[in-house]
Structure 1
Amino acid sequence: SLLSSSRDLSFHVGNGLTVTKTAIDHIKAAKHEVLFVTCFWNASCASLLALSAALRDLARTHRARMASGEATRRLRVRIAFSSLSLLQKLLHTSNRRGKIWTPDTWVNKLGLPSQQELEGLDVEVKSLFFRPVSVLHSKFTIIDRQVVVLASANISWENWLECSLTLHGDIVSKFCLFWEQIWGSSGELLQTDWLTPSQRTPPAGAEETHDTILLPQPWHQNPDIPFLRWVFPFWPKLEYGKGEVPPTPQNTFLLEAFRSATETIYIQTPNLTCRPVVEAIYEAVARGVKVEVVTCRNMMVLEQLVTAWGRTEWEVNKLIKRVRKLGLRANDEERALRRGSLKVSYFRERKGGGGGEGAGVDGRWEEKKSHVKCYIFDGEVVVLGSGNADRASWWTSLEVNVAVFGRGIAGEV
Structure 2
Amino acid sequence: MAMEPCSIFEDVAGRLEAQGSTEANRKTHPGYWIKDLKSLLCTANVEDITFGTGHQIYTRKILPAIEAAETEVVLVTCFLARSVTLDDLGDSLRKLSVKAQRNGKLIKVRICFSSSSIWQKLLQTSSLAGQIWPEAKWGLPRKDELQGLDMEVKSIFQLPFSVMHPKFAVVDRQRILLPSCNVSWEDWFEGCVDLNGAVVDQFVRFWQSFWAGEEDRQVKITNSTPFSNQQTSAIVREAYAVFLPSPHHRFSLPWVSSEQPPATPLNIYLLTVFTRAERGIYMQTPNLTSTVVLSAILQALERGVDVTILTSRRLMRLEQIVTAGTTTERSVRSLIKRYQALKQHQTSPRDLEAGFVPSHAGRLIVRYHKMRDAIDQLEVEPAQSHLKLTIVDGKVAIFGSGNMDRASWHTSQELGLALTSESLVKQVWQSLSIAMEGRSVTEYDSDKD
TM-score (structure 1 length as normaliser): 0.87
User: Match of 1:379?
Assistant: 394
Q: Residues 232-272 of structure 1: CA distance to partner in whole angstroms, max 9, x if unpaired? A: xxxxx5xxxx5421000010000001000000000000000
CA distance in 2, matches of 1:94, 1:208: 41
Runs of 4+ in 1 over 2 A off after TM superposition: 185-196, 198-203, 205-208, 331-337, 351-355
CA distance in 1, matches of 2:279, 2:269: 18
Q: Residue 170 and residue 224 in structure 1: after superposition, are their counterparts in 2 closer, same or farther (change >3 A)?
A: same
CA distance in 2, matches of 1:336, 1:244: 31
- Trace 1:179-198 onto structure 2 (pairs within 5 A): 179-186=207-214, 188-196=216-224
- Per mean C-alpha deviation after superposition, the further-off stretch among 133-142 and 19-28 is 19-28
Q: Which amino acid aligns with 1:343?
A: I
Report how far residue 352 of structure 1 moved.
2.4
Residue 55 (structure 1) aligned to one of 93, 96, 103: 93
Gaps of 5+ in 1: 67-72, 230-236, 356-362
User: Match of 1:140?
Assistant: 168
User: Match of 1:176?
Assistant: 204
Q: Residue 201 and residue 11 in structure 1: after superposition, are their counterparts in 2 closer, same or farther (change >3 A)?
A: closer
In structure 2, the residue corresponding to 1:370 is in which secondary structure? Answer: coil
User: Match of 2:321?
Assistant: 305
User: Match of 2:363?
Assistant: 341
Q: Which amino acid aligns with 2:241?
A: T
Q: Residue 133 and residue 244 in structure 1: after superposition, are their counterparts in 2 closer, same or farther (change >3 A)?
A: same
CA distance in 1, matches of 2:205, 2:221: 12
CA distance in 1, matches of 2:140, 2:409: 32
Residue 153 (structure 2) aligned to one of 118, 125, 131: 125
Report how far residue 365 of structure 1 moved.
2.3
Residue 325 (structure 1) aligned to one of 334, 341, 363: 341
Q: Residues 182-229 of structure 1: CA distance to partner in whole angstroms, max 9, x if unpaired? A: 110356244243345x749999x9862100111111001x212145x5
User: Match of 1:409?
Assistant: 424
Q: Residues 103-157 of structure 1: CA distance to partner in whole angstroms, max 9, x if unpaired? A: 4xx1xx3111111111111000000000010001111000000000011101111
Q: Which amino acid aligns with 2:289?
A: T
CA distance in 1, matches of 2:425, 2:288: 22
Contact residue 346 and residue 360 of structure 2 kept, 8 A: no
User: Match of 2:263?
Assistant: 247
In structure 2, the residue corresponding to 1:4 is in which secondary structure? Answer: strand
Contact residue 352 and residue 366 of structure 1 kept, 8 A: no
User: Match of 1:233?
Assistant: none
- Per mean C-alpha deviation after superposition, the further-off stretch among 114-123 and 326-335 is 326-335
User: Match of 1:288?
Assistant: 304
Aligned pair 1:86/2:124, yes or no? no
Report how far residue 306 of structure 1 moved.
0.7
- Trace 1:20-35 onto structure 2 (pairs within 5 A): 20-21=58-59, 22-35=61-74
Q: Which amino acid aligns with 2:102?
A: A
Report how far residue 25 of structure 1 moved.
1.6
CA distance in 1, matches of 2:387, 2:293: 17
CA distance in 2, matches of 1:101, 1:208: 39
Report how far residue 102 of structure 1 moved.
2.2
CA distance in 1, matches of 2:149, 2:289: 42
Contact residue 165 and residue 412 of structure 2 kept, 8 A: yes
Gaps of 5+ in 2: 1-38, 429-449
Q: Residues 328-385 of structure 1: CA distance to partner in whole angstroms, max 9, x if unpaired? A: 1123697874251110001111232443xxxxxxx41211100000100000100011
Q: Which amino acid aligns with 2:300?
A: A
Q: Residue 90 and residue 330 in structure 1: after superposition, are their counterparts in 2 closer, same or farther (change >3 A)?
A: same
Aligned pair 1:38/2:53, yes or no? no
- Per mean C-alpha deviation after superposition, the further-off stretch among 394-403 and 344-353 is 344-353
CA distance in 2, matches of 1:382, 1:252: 15
Residue 77 (structure 1) aligned to one of 109, 122, 128: 109
Q: Which amino acid aligns with 2:169?
A: T
Contact residue 242 and residue 419 of structure 2 kept, 8 A: yes
User: Match of 1:4?
Assistant: 42
User: Match of 1:316?
Assistant: 332
Q: Which amino acid aligns with 1:257?
A: V
CA distance in 2, matches of 1:9, 1:397: 29
CA distance in 2, matches of 1:93, 1:334: 62
CA distance in 1, matches of 2:332, 2:198: 39
Report how far residue 87 of structure 1 moved.
1.3
Contact residue 219 and residue 396 of structure 1 kept, 8 A: yes
- Per mean C-alpha deviation after superposition, the further-off stretch among 184-193 and 383-392 is 184-193
Q: Which amino acid aligns with 1:211?
A: Y
Q: Which amino acid aligns with 1:212?
A: A
Residue 352 (structure 1) aligned to one of 360, 374, 388: 374
Aligned pair 1:274/2:304, yes or no? no
CA distance in 2, matches of 1:56, 1:319: 50
Residue 57 (structure 2) aligned to one of 14, 19, 23: 19
In structure 1, the residue corresponding to 2:268 is in which secondary structure? Answer: helix
The count of aligned residue pairs is 380
CA distance in 2, matches of 1:411, 1:334: 38
CA distance in 1, matches of 2:159, 2:81: 20
Residue 167 (structure 1) aligned to one of 195, 214, 233: 195
Q: Residues 38-85 of structure 1: CA distance to partner in whole angstroms, max 9, x if unpaired? A: 111112x1111211111111111111111xxxxxx4100000111011
Q: Residue 139 and residue 329 in structure 1: after superposition, are their counterparts in 2 closer, same or farther (change >3 A)?
A: same
Q: Residue 378 and residue 96 in structure 1: after superposition, are their counterparts in 2 closer, same or farther (change >3 A)?
A: same
CA distance in 2, matches of 1:334, 1:52: 66
Report how far residue 393 of structure 1 moved.
0.6
Q: Which amino acid aligns with 1:167?
A: L
TM-score (structure 2 length as normaliser): 0.81
